[in-house]
Amino acid sequence: MHCGNCQREIAEYSNFCYFCGARQRARYAEPPGMSKRLMRSSVDRKIGGVCGGIAEYFEIDSTVVRIIWVLLILMPVPIVPAFLGYFVAWLVMPLAPWPVYQPEPPAAAPHTTQPA
């Protein structure tokens, strides 16, 4: 991987360049060997975060998962299994950690010189 600021070679998945200190723009990069885990969402939750966690795992909109869940509940046969499944998933799935807020550095204003 190359630093976007100084163009030097740095280690993969680095957050900062160790030559110039510039922040790297790797978006949600996972180190090799790490896999996704099914976890309840800590930010996209209505009741327990189960539908939000499933949506984050499959990388789809959480509204789609919630609509599918409601349709399963409205069917005549799976009313009890749908509620029971949600409750069991709520108990079994671990809660995802809160995302860490990292503020963007302020953009430097372009320096312009005007004739006097």
Contact yes or no for 50/96 (Cβ under 8 A): no
Prediction pTM value:
0.53
pLDDT tier, 26 (very low <50, low <70, confident <90, very high otherwise):
low
Of the chain, the percentage scoring pLDDT greater than 90 comes to: 0
Rg of the chain over all Cα atoms, to the nearest angstrom: 22
- Residue 32: what pLDDT? 56
pLDDT tier, 6 (very low <50, low <70, confident <90, very high otherwise):
confident
* Per-domain boundaries in the chain: 1-33, 36-97
Q: What is the pLDDT of residues 62-114, one digit of tens each?
A: 889 889 888 888 877 667 777 788 888 888 888 877 776 666 666 665 666 66
Q: Give the C-alpha separation, 44 to 107, whole Å.
A: 30
Burial of 94 (0-12, 13-18, 19+ CB in 10 A): exposed
Contact yes or no for 52/45 (Cβ under 8 A): yes
Within 10 Å of residue 93's Cβ, how many Cβ atoms? 19
Q: What is the mean pLDDT of residues 18-45?
A: 71
Picking from 48, 26, 28, the residue whose alpha carbon sits closest to that of residue 39 is 48
